[in-house]
Amino acid sequence: MRIPWTTLSGIALALLFSNVCTAQDYDSPDVGPPKEAGKCNGIFVSYNFQGREKEYPFVKNVSAQAWSFKATATVLNTGTTELKSWRLFIGFQHNELLVSADGAVIVDGDGFPIRVGNNGTVLVGYPQADLKTAIDTAGDYSQMQVQVNLKGTQFGVAKGTPMPRTIKLVNDGFKCPAPTGKGGYMYTCCVKDPKFKLKQLKTKFFPRQYGDLSLTYDVLEAFDNKYLAQVTIDSNHPLGRLDQWNLTWEWMRNEFIYSMKGAYTHRKDPSECVYGPQGQYYKDFDFSPVMNCQKKPFISDLPPEKENDDNVGRLPYCCKNGTLLPKTMNETKSRAIFQLQVFKLPPDLNRTALTPPQNWNIKGRLNPIYKCSPPIRVDPTEFPDPTGIPAVASAIASWQVTCNITHPKPKQAQCCVSYSAYYSDAAIPCNTCACGCGEEARCDQNAAALPLPPSALLVPFANRTDIAKAFAKIQHRHLPMKLPCPDNCGVSINWHIDSDYKTGWTARLTLFNWDEDAFSDWFTAIHMKKASPGFEKVYSFKGTKLSDPTNMIFMQGLPGLNYLIGEVNGTRPDKDPRVPGKQQSMIQFSKKNTPHINVVEGDGFPSRVFFNGEECALPKELPKRNYAYRSPVLSRLPATLGVLVTFLLLTDGLK
How confident is the model at residue 362, as a pLDDT? 96
How confident is the model at residue 645, as a pLDDT? 39
Q: Give residue 124's identity as a one-letter amino acid code.
A: V
CA angle 464, 469, 471 (to 5 degrees): 90
The pLDDT tens digits of the residues spanning 264-314 come to: 999 998 999 999 999 999 999 999 999 999 999 999 999 999 999 999 999
In 3-state terms, what secondary structure has residue 63? helix
Strands 415-421, 491-500: pairing is: parallel
Q: Give residue 641's identity as a one-letter amino acid code.
A: L
Averaged pLDDT, 481-501: 94
Q: How far is CA 288 from CA 148, 268, 341, 597, in A?
A: 39, 9, 15, 68
Q: What is the DSSP letter of 586?
A: E
CA distance 443 to 441: 5
Q: Pick the range with the lowest mean pLDDT from 11-25, 192-206, 228-242, 541-555.
A: 11-25
Report residue 556's pLDDT band, with 50, 70 and 90 as the boundaries: very high
How confident is the model at residue 2, as a pLDDT? 46
Averaged pLDDT, 503-531: 94
Whether the predicted pLDDT of 477 surpasses 90: no
- Name the residue among 621, 626, 588 with its Cα closest to residue 453: 626
How confident is the model at residue 109, as a pLDDT? 60
Averaged pLDDT, 205-211: 86
Q: What is the DSSP string of 616-645?
A: PBPPSS-PPPPTT----GGGGS-HHHHHHH
What is the average pLDDT score of the chain? 87
**Neighbour-count burial of 650, counting CB atoms closer than 10 A to its CB (0-12 exposed, 13-18 middle, 19+ buried):** middle
How confident is the model at residue 440, as a pLDDT? 66
Contact 293, 269 (CB under 8 A): yes
How confident is the model at residue 569, as a pLDDT? 82
Pick the more confident residue, 540 or 440: 540
Averaged pLDDT, 243-262: 96
The pLDDT tens digits of the residues spanning 441-469 come to: 689 998 999 999 998 998 998 888 889 88
CA distance 596 to 149: 60
Pick the more confident residue, 262 or 655: 262
Whether the predicted pLDDT of 198 surpasses 90: no
The pLDDT tens digits of the residues spanning 77-92 come to: 999 999 988 999 999 9
Whether the predicted pLDDT of 210 surpasses 70: yes
Averaged pLDDT, 403-412: 91
> From the CA atom positions of the chain, what is the Rg in Å?
31
What stretch(es) of the chain map to CATH 2.60.40.290? Answer: 35-192, 213-405, 415-437+444-628
Q: What percent of the chain has pLDDT over 90?
A: 65
Q: Pick the range with the lowest mean pLDDT from 115-124, 186-195, 250-259, 438-447.
A: 438-447
The pLDDT tens digits of the residues spanning 43-99 come to: 999 999 999 999 999 998 888 899 999 999 999 999 999 998 899 999 999 989 999
- Topology given in CATH for the domain delimited by 35-192: Immunoglobulin-like (2.60.40)
CA distance 513 to 582: 6
Pick the more confident residue, 521 or 5: 521
Whether the predicted pLDDT of 323 surpasses 70: yes
How confident is the model at residue 202, as a pLDDT? 60
Pick the more confident residue, 526 or 637: 526
Q: Which residues pair with 377 in a beta bridge?
A: 399
- Topology given in CATH for the domain delimited by 213-405: Immunoglobulin-like (2.60.40)
Backbone angles phi, psi at 218, to 5 degrees: -105, 130
* pTM confidence score: 0.81
Q: Give residue 184's identity as a one-letter amino acid code.
A: G
Q: Pick the range with the lowest mean pLDDT from 431-445, 504-518, 520-534.
A: 431-445
Pick the more confident residue, 386 or 235: 235
Contact 307, 319 (CB under 8 A): yes
Report residue 199's pLDDT band, with 50, 70 and 90 as the boundaries: low
How confident is the model at residue 633, as a pLDDT? 41
How confident is the model at residue 3, as a pLDDT? 46
CA distance 289 to 499: 65
Query: Which CATH code fits 415-437+444-628?
Result: 2.60.40.290
How confident is the model at residue 117, as a pLDDT? 77
The pLDDT tens digits of the residues spanning 211-238 come to: 999 999 999 999 999 999 999 999 999 9
How confident is the model at residue 143, as a pLDDT? 94
CA distance 471 to 465: 10
CA distance 397 to 389: 22
